[in-house]
Amino acid sequence: MQNGAETYRRIATISAHLNPSPSSHQMEGGVGLSRANCRAKGGSPGFKVAILGAAGGIGQPLAMLMKMNPLVSVLHLYDVANTPGVTADISHMDTGAVVRGFLGPQQLEDALTGMDLVIIPAGVPRKPGMTRDDLFNINAGIVRTLCEGIAKCCPKAIINIISNPVNSTVPIAAEVFKRAGSFDPRRLLGVTMLDIVRANTFVAEVLGLDPREVDVPVVGGHAGVTILPLLSQVKPSCSFTTEETEYLTSRIQNGGTEVVEAKAGTGSATLSMAYAAVKFADACLHGLRGDAGIVECAFVSSQVTELPFFASKVRLGRNGVEEIYPLGPLNEYERTGLEKAKKELATSIQKGVAFVKK
């Protein structure tokens, strides 16, 4: 019988022999056979997905949930810190997707090449007292750099932008892609799904329903008054008192702040966001696969209002956004909310565009 240390030494020797200069981007040079020398090559049919910011508070549970998604065959985890550990950990899950880790800007291009879907939760989160716009100075540059990489390495990929302020980071991404000559408005989507997830939950609480039965459209953008729940269009059809409408609108608009304050300086929503991001990414993958009737809200290049970007219901398909639905009939309360939302959105969009143009 060999003891553990001997076994480890033998495996390490075999590994060094089979894989003398391990490919660092696969982060598998530690123990065992290199992937190139394994009989199983991995990679069931499916889509190739990259997560940029994969070692963060959102990135880690998002990576775990995407590893569980049967539509994913290859999962690339990119970050500027800590991807070796996260990759090693997640790669042990016995689900179909092959996981590879990428660390730092030198490995960004390898992380992106060949991807069908790129999800971006990279960047700093809020602390109590901050607005999402206070993150602009740091996150704008991060999103610009990552999108430059996407334009170069996977210009046809569908992009899901989570990094805040979404109302500005999506216009930043669009400007980067325009400059690179690769802008396809159908493929760029700002993730507002957490607003819908929250709205479904809070409305279900008020109505005494199961949240899975509730569908609340949330339009506009992803910050404060730009988050506009259309409570008059809730399914199943229902009505709310003025007090309920005001309570629900305020709670949905301030859901992010509720979590930031509860986390007391340690970050913002990560677990519910990872859940929402996976729900949204899964819808994008079903669309890519050609499934019919995939409709979700997202912040996209739009002509639904006079603004160049707006969140509303979109139908997802093989090219990303195949159709953008109009807002439908609004009541007086929602019409007033829409005007407030548009005013703030116009400023945030312009700020993003100006950042790239300057």
Ligand X SMILES: NC(=O)C1=CN([C@@H]2O[C@H](COP(=O)(O)OP(=O)(O)OC[C@H]3O[C@@H](n4cnc5c(N)ncnc54)[C@H](O)[C@@H]3O)[C@@H](O)[C@H]2O)C=CC1
Ligand Y SMILES: O=C([O-])CC(=O)C(=O)O
- Contact window for ligand X (CB under 6 A) among 43-51, 95-103, 265-273, 327-335: 265-273
Query: Smaller CB distance to ligand Y: residue 183 or 275?
Result: 275
222 is catalytic: yes
| CA 68 from centroid of its chain's CA atoms | 16
Residue with smaller CB distance to ligand X, 298 or 353: 298
Tokens found for residue 32: 């065992």
Residue in the shown chain whose Cβ atom is closest to ligand Y: 256
Query: Does residue number 218 form part of the binding site for ligand X (CB under 6 A)?
Result: no
Cβ of residue 52: shortest distance to ligand X, in angstroms?
A: 5
The nearer residue to ligand X, 273 or 283, going by C-beta atoms, is 273
96 vs 121 by CB, closer to ligand X: 121
Is 268 or 305 the residue whose CB approaches ligand X more closely? 268
| H runs (alpha helix) in the chain | 4-18, 59-67, 83-91, 108-112, 136-153, 166-180, 193-207, 242-253, 255-263, 271-289, 332-357
Q: At closest approach, how far in Å is the CB of 143 from ligand Y?
A: 14
First to last CA, the chain: 68
Among 79, 116, 133, 282, binds ligand X (CB under 6 A): 79
Query: Is 79 annotated as ligand-binding?
Result: yes
Say whether 139 counts as a known binding-site residue. yes
CA distance 224 to 254: 6
Q: Which stretch binds ligand X (CB under 6 A): 123-131, 178-186, 284-292, 326-334?
A: 123-131
Task: Name the active-site residue from 25, 92, 222, 286.
Answer: 222
Cβ contacts of residue 120 below 8 Å, gap of 6+?
51, 52, 53, 143, 146, 159, 160, 161, 162, 163
Name residues whose C-beta falls within 8 Å of residue 161's C-beta, 6 or more positions apart in sequence: 120, 143, 169, 170, 173, 188, 189, 190, 191
Return d(Cα 61, Cα 331) in angstroms, integer.
Answer: 38
3-state secondary structure (DSSP) of residue 311: strand
> Residue 268, interface with ligand X (CB under 6 A)?
yes
Beta carbon of residue 92, minimum distance to ligand Y (angstroms, whole number) = 30
Query: Using CB under 6 A, which of 11, 33, 124, 238 touches ligand X?
Result: 124
Instruction: Check residue 126 and report its DSSP letter.
Output: P
Q: Judge contact between 66 and 78, C-beta under 8 A.
A: no
Near ligand Y in 219-278, by CB under 6 A: 255-257, 259-260, 268-269
Tell whether 273 is in a known binding site.
yes
- The DSSP-derived string for 239-279 is ---HHHHHHHHHHHHTHHHHHHHHHTTS-S--HHHHHHHHH
List, by residue number, the catalytic residues.
222
Q: Which residues are annotated as a binding site for NAD(+)?
A: 53-59, 79, 139, 162-164, 273
Binding residues (CB under 6 A) for ligand Y: these are 125-126, 132, 164, 194, 255-257, 259-260, 268-269
Binding residues (CB under 6 A) for ligand X: these are 52-53, 55-59, 79-81, 121-126, 135, 139, 142, 146, 162-164, 166, 191, 194, 222, 267-270, 273
